[in-house]
Amino acid sequence: MISVYLCINKIIKQLYKYNYTNLIGNPIKNRKLIHFSIINLVKHYKNIEKTILNHYIYSADYKILNSKIHYIFKYSCAFTICNKMKLKTLKKTFKKYMKNYKIKNNNNKILKYTFNFDAILTE
């Protein structure tokens, strides 16, 4: 069996080139997309994320790439919405625009919160 590994740093450099991350791979706001409506902004981010992930779906380290790309696009989108709507903090952005899901274990103890942009698309 042949395994294909990819260099995530090359993908990060491309994302930096198009203003989704800074040079070290942390998500940033994309000022070029501020003029989009919020729904179109979220659709844009989701489409790019899906395109990248579909391109590398057969990579041996797909799970690592998937989590990294999802993190980058979720927070870059949140930073962009925060800047567009002048909310000042990510906490306000997540509270206003993202659906909050609580993940519980068998004892009804909350393990973590997850946020999903799909709430914007269903409004």
Q: Using CB atoms within 10 A of its CB, is residue 101 exposed (0-12), middle (13-18) or buried (19+)?
A: exposed
What global pTM score does this model have?
Answer: 0.79
* Residue 102 predicted with pLDDT over 80: no
7 pLDDT tier (thresholds 50, 70, 90)? confident
- Given CA atoms 45, 72, 24, 14 in this order, what sign does their dihedral have? negative
* Residue 114 predicted with pLDDT over 70: no
How many CB atoms neighbour CB 30 within 10 A? 21
108 pLDDT tier (thresholds 50, 70, 90)? low
Three-class HEC string of 26-70: CECCCHHHCCCCHHHHHHHHHHHHHHHHHHCCCCCCHHHHHHHHH
Over residues 56-77, the mean pLDDT reads 89
* Residue 113 predicted with pLDDT over 60: no
